[in-house]
Chain A
Amino acid sequence: MNTKQNMTKSDNERQISSEEIKKRAKEIIEAARQNNEDGIDLDAYTLGDINEPEATMHSEADIPDELKESMDKVGIDIKENKSGIYLQTGNKHDLCVSNTPGVELLPIKEALKKYDGTDGKFNLQEYLWKAVPYDKDQYTAEAAIQEITQGYFIYARKGQKTVFPLQSCLFVNLPGMKQVVHNIIIAEEGSELDIITGCSTHKTARKALHLGVSEFYVKKNARVSFTMVHNWADDTNVRPRTGIILEDDAQFSNFYIVMSAVKNLQTNPVIKLVGKNASYYGQTLIYGKGESYFDTGATAHLIGEGSKAEIISRVLAVDGAHVKARGTIIGEGRDVTGHIDCSALILSDRSRVDSIPEIQAKNPEVTLTHEASVGKIADEHIEYLMSRGLSESESINLIVSGFLDVDTSPLPEKLAKETQKIIELVSEAEMG
């Protein structure tokens, strides 16, 4: 156990009791409600059924067709080889199967009971709220209060390398529901984990709220890739809260793909590269349509010497969609490098894209750069393709599909192909 050194100072000073956390969390929520912060009232949504300790399914064979359909929409193919699968509907888990020795996949509630610090086991409580502070905002506070809700725990033991990805899917199935998820992922020294996850609103549950806290702890020389596809409804609010802590030589690749309409989605994973030569590569792909509002980005703290981060976003905006694409890199350690790259295509007169890159150099020994381009497709490009016999709309489609052809080379070869396939499937379904 070596997490203490990575904890933020305030947490380190004293171990806060869960009662104290809940009390403080309630105050945060109350204050947010009084100020009508962020325009989302947590009380307007219900948790639904949470008191079912047993999984509703025992194997993949039990997955109903309706659920399979939703899984397809987020690119999760149960026919693919996998190291494990976790399914959750609302606030209770449906299925949790792990079939790789050395890599554990558990519902978080079960994991907290199992890893309680007794019998030489580590204490999972020590990881709770260390990568994401519980008092960040009303959403993390809500998750801190609702500790009875579910989520997944993924644990890769020292040196364990998964050949196939772990799959996870979270569904919101009832109208007016708030899904409050808390996930913890720990990759011990020298381990490798690939995770493909999808989150989706059922067509019957348009009005919903998804809160997802995900905490990643990637130890020395470990590598984690995380491919996440979101498929929401036009009345769903989404607030993922992600924190990633990377130790010496740890690597993290993050692919985030949202191609459905949403009401309001705001996320900004915070990556702390505390270790020497730790590296982070994050790519976000957003196809904003309808009247969706997106505010997405990532914040990387380059603390360890020689650490590096790349934050890339590709945005397509149609209809009345408004997308804010952010990226912040803070260069604190020596010889760190960071790059932010945002390109956006605006495909309708009503859509809007704001690119907000920020680089902060805290010492002279850093190399931080950013580039951004936002605009419509150049006429010159369309006319060039038309000069090869394509119609105007065929030309636009070809340019757009090229724009979506993201660089998956930071992923292991198998997963790169898988991710490409997911993007193709999702974009075909969403764009026709």
Chain B
Amino acid sequence: MSWLRIEKLTVEVEGKRILNDFDLNIDQGEVHVLLGPNGAGKTTLIKSILGFKNYHVVNGHIYFKDQEITHFPINERIQMGIGVLFQHPPAINGLKLSKLLTVCGEKRGNHNGEIQGNNYQQIESSNCSDEFPPYIQSLADRLKFPPDYLNRDVNMGFSGGEVKRSEILQMMVLQPELLLFDEPDSGVDVENVELIAKIMRELLDRDKVPSKQTKSGLIITHLGYILKFLGHITRAHIMMDGTITCSGDPALIIHSIMKNGFEACRECISCVESSSILKEVDFTL
């Protein structure tokens, strides 16, 4: 079953065309990676899938689980099961992270972690406050947050790694079925990349047997380093100038980008060269 299907999507931001006849299909259980140079329109794609106000759909359709959502309000899409990790989320003065997480949980009917695959709610937490459900503290502990962290204002003065961990913490509470990750590893130190990847892997059911892999994901990344920790990636796409220019085997595509950069992709030169050595390459390159 198709989890996310985008057909001929054309999007304008402030009168400027950013997405152009964009097509993509992600089936249930699949994880795709989207690569592309700066300005290719990757973040615009994410915000268009969510339905942000300034992202005007001029043409085309977006479907989630075969239901058209092109013109749905943002929150309805989220309630249907789409979740997103933003690259640069805003800081909100006065709104405590714990409060946001509690509200997120309530919105998803997740009052004490019962919709978690793991039994987080059974983990007793030493420094949990009565202001928010204990399962939230348990989740924060897994992400190695300092005790006072949940009481800080959302993204206020957070380091790069803290921003991403806060984003992933929100995903853990929301438990989406389709997960969109916009640069989950940018500005994050190596240690935290592994920690974030570990949780992503869990959220995406990567360690379950194939028939139990019900979640789908779209990962935007610059580097590909994080992919090393994510298990099997179904497919990779290269996005340039608002559209997908190439799709195929992740190992092959990442290898050729690493070797010759995105510009070479325009000519497909490196992939032709690399095909013969496919057996030797992997994501770690």
Query: Which residues of A line the B interface, CB within 8 A?
Result: 343, 378-381, 383-392, 394, 398-399, 401-405
Contact = CB atoms under 8 A, between A and B. Distances in A.
B72 to A, nearest CB: 11
B96 A402 contact: yes
A286 B66 CA distance: 48
B50 A387 contact: yes
B153 A381 contact: no
A61 to B, nearest CB: 33
Nearest to B106: A389
17 contacts: A380-B90, A384-B89, A384-B90, A385-B92, A385-B100, A386-B73, A386-B74, A387-B50, A387-B74, A387-B75, A388-B104, A389-B75, A389-B104, A389-B108, A389-B174, A390-B103, A399-B94
B100 A398 contact: yes
B11 to A, nearest CB: 15
A402 B92 contact: yes
A381 B104 contact: no
Interface stretch (B23-31, B78-86, B231-239, B247-255): B78-86
Nearest to B54: A379
A388 B94 contact: no
Interface in B120-167: 153
B93 interface: yes
Interface residues of B, number: 27
Nearest to A383: B52
B92 A384 contact: yes
Nearest to A407: B94
B95 interface: yes
A391 B75 contact: yes
Given A386-B74, A388-B78, A389-B104, 6 more contacts: A378-B90, A389-B108, A390-B75, A391-B73, A399-B94, A402-B94
Nearest to A388: B104
B93 A402 contact: yes
A398 B95 contact: yes
B14 to A, nearest CB: 13
Nearest to B108: A389
B228 interface: no
- A384, A401, A402: most-surrounded residue (chain B CB, <10 A): A384
B201 interface: no
Contacts of A405: 94-96
A389 B74 CA distance: 7
B17 interface: no
B208 interface: no
A388 B94 CA distance: 17
Nearest to A404: B94
Interface of B is mostly: mixed
Nearest to A405: B94
Contacts of A388: 78, 100, 103-104, 107, 170, 174
Contact of A392 (B54, B73, B93): B73
A379 B108 CA distance: 23
B107 A389 contact: yes
A203 B136 CA distance: 44
A49 to B, nearest CB: 45
Nearest to A377: B92
A256 B73 CA distance: 39
Contacts of B79: 389
A166 to B, nearest CB: 29
A388 B172 CA distance: 12
B99 interface: yes
B266 interface: no
Given A386-B74, A388-B170, A389-B75, A398 B93 contact: no
Contacts of B153: 402
A383 B74 contact: yes
A164 to B, nearest CB: 23
Interface in B1-57: 50, 52-54
Nearest to B180: A387
Contacts of A398: 95, 99-100, 103
Interface in B167-214: 170, 174
Contacts of B170: 388
B95 A402 contact: yes
A403 B74 contact: no
Contacts of B53: 379, 383
A32 B54 CA distance: 54
Which 7 A-B pairs rank lowest in CB-CB distance, beginning with the nearest?
Answer: A402-B94, A402-B95, A389-B107, A386-B74, A389-B78, A405-B94, A386-B75
Contacts of A379: 53-54
A392 B53 CA distance: 12
Contact of B84 (A378, A381, A387, A403): A387
Nearest to B94: A402
A387 B80 CA distance: 12
Contacts of A401: 94
Given A378-B90, A402-B93, A403-B94, A390 B107 contact: yes
Nearest to B85: A387
A381 B74 contact: no
Nearest to B173: A388
B35 to A, nearest CB: 23
B78 A343 contact: no
B261 to A, nearest CB: 32
A402 B99 contact: yes
B107 to A, nearest CB: 4
Contacts of A380: 90
A250 to B, nearest CB: 30
Contacts of A391: 73, 75
Contact of A403 (B75, B93, B96, B174): B93
